Structure 1
Amino acid sequence: MKESEIFINQLGYRILDNKNVFVSKTAKGEAEQFSVCEKAGGKVVLTGPLIAAPDDEESGGGYFTGDFSAVQTPGEYYIQIGEEKSFPFTLSDNVYDELTLSTLKYFTDSRCGQGICHTGIAEVYGTGEQKNVQGGWHDAGDYGRYVVAGSKAVMDLLLGYKKCPQKFSGFDLLGEVRFELEWMLQMQREDGAVYHKISCYHFCPFIMPQEEKDQLVLAPVSTAATADFAGCLAYASGFYKESDPKFSAQLLQAAIKAQNYLFSHDDEFYINPPEITTGGYGDHDVRDERYFALCSLFAATGEKNYLSQALKYREDKKKDKPDPKHPWNCGWQEGFGWPFVSGYGTELLLENEDKLDADLISEIHSGIISQAEKYLETCDASAFKYCSKFVFWGSNGAICDLAHIMLMAFDLTGRKEFIKAAKAQIDFILGCNPLNYCYVTGAGTKSVVHPHHRPSGASKKVYPGMLAGGPCGALLDAYAKEHLAGQPALKCYADAEPSYSTNEVAIYWNSAFVYTLVRV
C-alpha cells in the first residue's frame, strides 16, 4: 500500500493501552483532526484533534500527535488524516503474542555448534594450548560468541521470565537459556577466570555459519567476562534448583569459583590483541560488573560478605564527577547495557529486600525513581515520546534498557506514567518513529528487509524476529556516512546490509526488547 507519513504501532495495541498517532507537518497539511477508521468498510469510529508535538533536535521537529485511547473495540483499523491513510493496525489483547514468540525463536535460530557449525578445536590465544568449546548463541550479525553479551541476554530473559512467566507459554525459555549457560561453563579456565570470547581471528564474509572454517580462538580472560559470568550463573542457578539440582549446583559453584578469582586479582581490561579483529566488547570501568557479581552471589547464597563488598563498589562509584557529554559516567546509576550492568545487581538486591537495611532500601528506591523521572522528562520533551537524548549504536536496544529502569520505578511506586513511557518505547520500535519502520524483521507493514546479519545475507532469506540496532546519529559506518549525513539523529538509519552501525542485530538487543515487551 502507499506509504504516508502517519506513524502508528504497525502491529497494533491492546484494548486498554495508551494509543497515539503521530504525523508529519507535510502529511497533516491543513487538517486539524484525525479519524480512526475500520479497515473493512472505512467506518469512522473516532475523530480527535491533532496537537503540535514537542520540537526536539533528535527528530528534527515539525510533528503532530493525537490520542485515540478511547477506541477499545477489538478489530482492524487505520488512521485517516485528510486524504492520507496510515498502515493498518490491530486492537487485541493478544496482539503481541506472535511477536513475542518470534523474538524468542531468534535465540534458537542463533544457536552455534550442534554438529553443524564451528565444531573445530579452538586455540587459546598466546598459550599454545587448545580447548574444545561448543554451543552458545551467535552474538550478532557475525558468528562470534561473547561472554559479556551472552550474560546480559540471559539476565534480561530470566528477569522477564520471573516477572511474567505466562508470557513465555509455547516457548521453552529455560531450555533455550540452558543452551547458552552450558556454553558459558566451557568458557571458564581452571583457576576460575573466564575467557572473554570465542571467534575466528577475523570476521568472515557473508556466508552461512557452517561455511566459516577458519581457526577458532579463545581470547584472553577479562574481569568483565569473569564478573558477568559470576553474576549471570549465580542468578541462573536458582531457576534450575527444582528441575535439575545437579546443574543448578554446577552453575553456582562455577560462579563462586569465578568470584574467588576476582577477589584475588586486579582488574584485567580486555583489548583485542593485534591478531584478533572481531568484536571487542572492551570495558575500562568494571566496578559495575564486580558489583553485579557480588550482588548476585549474595542473593544466591545469603553470605553477607558478598553484600558488603558490593556496596563498597557502589559507594566508590558515587564519587565519580559528572560528565555531561557521557551521562552514563555521572556517579552511581543503574544500567542494563552490556558495558553498564549495575542495574542487574540492584534488581537482585530488590528481590531480597528482607535481607537489607532500611536505609539501603530507601537509597536504592529513591535513586531508581529519580533516574526514571529524568527519562520521563525526556519522553515528555520528545515528539515521539523517545526516552533518550543520545541516539547511538544500538539505540533500539538502549531505549529498552532505559525502559527497564522505568519499569523498576513502576514496580516501586505503581505510578502509571512510568509503564506508559516504557510502552511508548515499544511503540517507537514498532512504527511510531519518523522513518515509519517497524524495526523487527518479519513484523509490521514496513519492516527491516536488509539486516546486517550473515545468515540472512547468505541465504537471501530474512530471519524473522530480529530487532535492528536502529538510528545512530554518529554515522559510524561508510554507508551511513554516505547516505545519512545531515539528517536528524532519529532519521540516521538505513535498511541496508552494509550499515552495521544502524542495521545490525544482536542477542542483547533482542533480549532487552523481549524484557520490555513482556512487562508492558
Structure 2
Amino acid sequence: MIIFIFNLLTILTQKPMTKSSPSRIFLLILALSFCSFTTVDNTALTTSWVRINQLGYQPSSIKVAIWTSKNNTTPSKFDLISKQTGKVVFSSTQIQAFGKYGPFTTTARLNFSAFKTPGRYIIRANNISSPEIIIGEDVYRHTADFALRYMRQQRSGFNPYLKDSCHTHDGFVLDGKKAGIKDSTHFDASGGWHDASDYLQYATTSANATYHLLMAYRDFPQAFMDENQANGLTGSNGIADVLDEAKWGLDWLLKMHPSKKIMFNQLADDRDHISMRIPKEDSQYGKGFERPLYFISGEPQQRGKFMNNTTGTSSTAAKFTSAFSLGYSLFKAQNPTYATLLSRKAESALKYANQKRGVTQTASVKSPYIYAEDNWADDMELAYASLPQLTKTGKKSKYLDSAFAFSEKEKITPWLIADTAKHYQWYPFINLGHYELAKQTNANTKAALIENYKDGINHVWQRAKQNAFYRGVPFIWCSNNLTVSFAMQCYWYRELSGDYAFTELEQANFDWLFGCNPWGTSMVYGLPNWGDTPVDPHSAFTHLKQYPIDGGLVDGPVYTNIYKGLIGIQLAEADEYADFQSDLAVYHDDYGDYSTNEPTMDGTASLIYLLAAFDSQSKSYQKQEGAIIRGKADAKKIALVFTGDEFADGGKSIHKTLQKTNTKASFFLTGNFYRNPEFSPLIKSLKDYGNYLGAHSDQHLLYNDWKKRDSLLISKKKFTDDLNANYKAMQKFGIKKEHSPYFLPPYEWYNQTIANWTAEMGLQLVNFTPGTRSTADYTFPEMGTSYRSSDEIYRSIIDYAKKSAEGLNGFILLLHIGTDPKRTDKFYHKLPELIEYLKKEGYELVKINELLKNTNASTF
C-alpha cells in the first residue's frame, strides 16, 4: 500500500494540477486520505523529484537522470525498476552530487548508462520515483516529422492546417529609394512562414530555417517520411515532407529577392502585436490586407521612435546565398529548371551581401524589441562554403579560401563566451559555416575549424560542469534555440573529430529539452504525447481556437531579472510551476508569458535537424507506418528489389546482369505475374539462381486512398484472401509462405492497418527506402512532369550515395522488372553500370532476407 501511495503521489506531483484536471484532484485527495494513516514522510514526497528525458534513451547512449530536492538529502544509491515485472533490474551508486541549483537545495546526477536493455522502467531513489523511462532504439523515430507539423501550420499564403489562405495581398515597399522603388509599390511576397505566434516574416530567420531543413534532408534523409503533398495537405507526392517544407521556404526567399538590385529583409512589423487573431484577419497597416516590405539598403531604419543599428547588407543576403546554394544541390536532379534559378539567385545574393559589408537588423514601430543581429562574418563564411557546389573547379578553391578567411573573423560564436546577449544578437546561434567548410578542406584547415568548435564548447563546459543539469547555456530570450544549437555543435564536433569528450554534455542539452530540467517539462508542444509538455503556449491557434501546435519549440526559460523587466507580461492563470521558479530563471506554461512560452519557427526548424541527427544514431531498422523501409545503416549493404505485375520485358536482361555480376536480388511479384504462363520460365530461372521471390498482392490492389492515407479501400477479409491467393500462386514454384515472410505492398502504398494485418498473418511488411528516384523507372513521357529519364534516376542514386551521411547503407532500392511499352528509355539497361558503381564503392548487394536477417517476421 505504501508503494502504491508513493507511486500515485509521485505521478500526481510531476506537474502541479490545473483547473482542467478534476480527476487528478480526486486522485490526490484519495492518496492523501491513505497517507493520513501511514508512516510516509509527506515532506520528502513533495520536496524531491527525479527529472528525466521523457522521450527516452537509446540503449547505447549516455543515460542520466537528475535528483532534485528542496531538503538536504542526497541518495546513496538508486534502483531501476521494470514497469512490467516490478522487479529491480539495475542498481547503482554512481551518483555525482552537486549543491544548490535554482530552486533546489541539493541536486545529483544518477548515471545509468551501463544499463542497455530496451524496455520501460522507473528510477527509485530515497523512495522517490521518476516518471516512466523508455529505453529503445526507436525512441526518436519520426520525431523530426512530428516537429514538421508546426512548420506546416506556420505557412503563410495557403495554410494547410487551416485549409485556408492568408496574407495573399503582401506587400508594399518601404525604404526602396536606393533601388529607385517608390514607397508603396507592390511586390508579390505571399508565402513563407510566420515567424512565431505573431505573423511577421523575416528573411533572416526564414533563410536560416530553410537551410536547416535542407541540411536535415541532406544529412539524414532516412529520418523523414512522405505523407504530405507540396501544398502541405495529406497525400504522398514522392518527395520527403521535409524537402517539400524547405521548398516552401525557398519559394518565398525567391520572392524576397526578385532581382539583382532588390532584396527585402522583413514583411510586416510590430504593429502585428495589437491583438491575437487567426492569420487571415490582418489589416492594420493602412493598405487593407497588404503589409509593408522593408527593403535592404544597408542603412539604419527608423519607424516611430526606434532606430535600428543596421550597418550593411551582408548578414541577411549571405543567408539567402547559402539557402539557394544548398537548395540547388538537392533539387538539381529532380527539378533542374528550378535548381538553375536557385543557382542564379545564389550568385546575385552574394553580390548583394558584398554590396556593403555589415549587418542588417529588423525594424520596429511601437516597441524596442527587434532582432538585433550584430554579427555577419559567420554568414559570409557559410555563403562562400556553400558556393563551390555551384561552380567549376577553378572557382572552388577561391571560394573555400574566402570562407576560411571569414571563419578567422569569428572563430567562436560570441554568446558561447559572453554568457549573455541581446535578442538574437549573435544569430544564428551556431556557426554553420565551420561545419560546411570543415567537410571540404584539407587537414590543417579542417583541424583549425574543429578546434574552433572545441574552444566554444569548452567555454560552455566551464559553466556547465558546476551544476547537475550540465547547464551552461545562458537563460536569455529564446534559450531553447541556443540549447538546440549548442547540442548541434557538440554533435558536429564529435562527428568531425571522432572525439567523444563532450558526449555527456551533448546528451544533457538534448535531455534538457524533453524534461530533464528544473521544471520537469518538455519544451516541445505534444512531444512526447504521454509526457508533461506545454499546453497553454503564447499562441493564437491554441488560445482562440484550441488548435494544437504540434511540434512547436517554445522559447524556454529566461533569467528572472529579464522576465521582470519585460513589458506587458501578465500570467493568465496560477503558476503551475511555482515550486520550481527561482531567482535564477523562470519558465511558465501560460499564454500570458510571451518570453518563455512562445513557439518559434526557426527554433523548431533547428530542432528538426537535431531530432533527425539523434534518430539517425539508432542501430535498428527504419520503419514507416509499420513497414521496414531501410535496413541497419551501420553496414554497407543494399537490397536490390524488383516488383512486377503485368510487365516483364526487363526480366531476361536483369537476370543476365545478376548472373554476370554475381549478384542476388529480391523479386516481389503479384499472383497475376506468377500465373502468367509466359513468365513461368523467367520465374524458374530467377528462383534457381537463388534470388528471393516474394508476394506483391494477388490482384495488385490499391489498399488505401492516395490523399487520405488512413482511409482504407478494402476490408480485412479481402486483404487476407487476396494475399493468401498470391502465396497460393507462388506454391506452384515451390515457394512456401514460411520461406518468403517479407511482403511488399502493391503500388508501394499502405498504412499502419495494412502493416498490422500483415503481422497477424505472420509476415513482415517492407517497402522501398525513400530518397532517390529509382521507383520512377516505370514512368513514360506521356505522364508529363512525373516522367523521369534513366539518366536522372541513375544520377539521383549516385548523388544520394555521395551526399547522405550514411550513403546507401541499409537501402532497399526498388526498381521494376518490366514497364509499359510507352517507356522506351528502359532503366534496366543501366543496371550493369549501377551495380558496377555500387560494388566499386564497397556496397554488398544482398537479398531482402539477408539485409533483414536478424528480424523475425512473426514478431512484428
SS at match of 1:292: helix
Contact 2:536 2:591 in 1 (8 A): yes
Structure 2 letter corresponding to 1:128: S
* Deviation (angstroms), 1:277: 5.8
Aligned: 1:191 with 2:260: yes
Contact 2:523 2:533 in 1 (8 A): yes
* Deviation (angstroms), 1:477: 3.1
Contact 1:434 1:490 in 2 (8 A): no
Identity %: 23
1:351-390 equivalent positions in 2, closer than 5 A: 351-353=439-441, 356=442, 358-388=443-473, 390=474
Contact 2:59 2:116 in 1 (8 A): yes
Name the CA distance, whole Å, in 1 between partners of 2:386 and 2:59: 38
State the partner residue of 2:13: 3
Residues 285 and 193 of structure 1: CA distance in aligned 2, closer, same or farther (over 3 Å): farther
Aligned: 1:228 with 2:319: yes
Residues 227 and 426 of structure 1: CA distance in aligned 2, closer, same or farther (over 3 Å): same
Name the CA distance, whole Å, in 2 between partners of 1:326 and 1:481: 27
SS at match of 1:447: coil
Name the CA distance, whole Å, in 2 between partners of 1:163 and 1:323: 25
State the partner residue of 2:64: 20
Aligned: 1:125 with 2:174: yes
Contact 1:59 1:491 in 2 (8 A): no
* Deviation (angstroms), 1:186: 0.2
Contact 2:318 2:379 in 1 (8 A): yes
Contact 2:71 2:105 in 1 (8 A): no
SS at match of 2:166: coil
Name the CA distance, whole Å, in 2 between partners of 1:7 and 1:36: 14
Aligned: 1:212 with 2:282: yes
Q: Of the candidates 279, 285, 291, which is equivalent to residue 375 of structure 2? A: 285
Aligned: 1:313 with 2:401: no
Residues 256 and 124 of structure 1: CA distance in aligned 2, closer, same or farther (over 3 Å): same
Name the CA distance, whole Å, in 2 between partners of 1:46 and 1:506: 40
**Unmatched 5+ stretches in structure 2:** 1-10, 15-48, 159-163, 176-182, 227-239, 285-289, 299-312, 615-860
Q: How many residues align?
A: 509
Residues 492 and 422 of structure 1: CA distance in aligned 2, closer, same or farther (over 3 Å): same
Q: State the Cα deviation string for residues 435-466 of structure 1 (Å, max 9, x = none).
A: 11111111242111111122222212331111
1:414-493 equivalent positions in 2, closer than 5 A: 414-444=498-528, 445-473=531-559, 474-475=562-563, 477-478=566-567, 487-488=581-582, 491-493=585-587
* Deviation (angstroms), 1:491: 4.1
State the partner residue of 1:348: 436
Q: Of the candidates 219, 225, 241, which is equivalent to residue 332 of structure 2? A: 241
Residues 439 and 294 of structure 1: CA distance in aligned 2, closer, same or farther (over 3 Å): same
State the partner residue of 2:210: 154
Residues 289 and 108 of structure 1: CA distance in aligned 2, closer, same or farther (over 3 Å): same
1:494-513 equivalent positions in 2, closer than 5 A: 494-513=588-607
Structure 2 letter corresponding to 1:125: L
Contact 1:299 1:352 in 2 (8 A): no
Contact 1:120 1:216 in 2 (8 A): yes
* Deviation (angstroms), 1:58: 5.8
Contact 1:59 1:383 in 2 (8 A): no
Residues 273 and 447 of structure 1: CA distance in aligned 2, closer, same or farther (over 3 Å): closer
* Deviation (angstroms), 1:169: 3.3
Q: State the Cα deviation string for residues 250-291 of structure 1 (Å, max 9, x = none).
A: 1111111111223333546335164x7697323233232233
Structure 2 letter corresponding to 1:212: D
Q: What RMSD in Å do the two structures reach over aligned CA positions?
A: 3.2
SS at match of 1:124: strand
Q: State the Cα deviation string for residues 351-407 of structure 1 (Å, max 9, x = none).
A: 322xx5x4423322322233333444444333112242x211111110111122211
Name the CA distance, whole Å, in 1 between partners of 2:462 and 2:322: 32
* Deviation (angstroms), 1:490: 6.1
**Unmatched 5+ stretches in structure 1:** 330-335
Name the CA distance, whole Å, in 2 between partners of 1:485 and 1:87: 18
Structure 1 letter corresponding to 2:457: A
Aligned: 1:261 with 2:352: yes
Residues 112 and 279 of structure 1: CA distance in aligned 2, closer, same or farther (over 3 Å): farther
Contact 1:192 1:260 in 2 (8 A): no
So what's the TM-score if we normalise by structure 2?
Answer: 0.55
Aligned: 1:397 with 2:466: no
Q: Which moved more, 1:40-49 or 1:115-124?
A: 40-49
Name the CA distance, whole Å, in 1 between partners of 2:598 and 2:358: 30
Name the CA distance, whole Å, in 2 between partners of 1:339 and 1:267: 13
Name the CA distance, whole Å, in 2 between partners of 1:227 and 1:56: 44
Name the CA distance, whole Å, in 1 between partners of 2:68 and 2:470: 15
State the partner residue of 1:144: 200
Structure 2 letter corresponding to 1:253: R
State the partner residue of 2:146: 102
Residues 195 and 341 of structure 1: CA distance in aligned 2, closer, same or farther (over 3 Å): farther
Contact 2:80 2:89 in 1 (8 A): yes
Name the CA distance, whole Å, in 1 between partners of 2:185 and 2:583: 46
* Deviation (angstroms), 1:196: 0.7
Name the CA distance, whole Å, in 1 between partners of 2:480 and 2:330: 28
SS at match of 2:108: strand
* Deviation (angstroms), 1:485: 13
So what's the TM-score if we normalise by structure 1?
Answer: 0.88
Contact 2:555 2:595 in 1 (8 A): yes
Contact 1:136 1:183 in 2 (8 A): yes
Contact 2:415 2:426 in 1 (8 A): no
Aligned: 1:64 with 2:152: no
Contact 1:298 1:307 in 2 (8 A): yes
Contact 2:519 2:580 in 1 (8 A): no
Contact 1:227 1:293 in 2 (8 A): yes
Contact 1:442 1:464 in 2 (8 A): yes
* Deviation (angstroms), 1:337: 8.7
State the partner residue of 2:250: 181
Aligned: 1:48 with 2:104: no
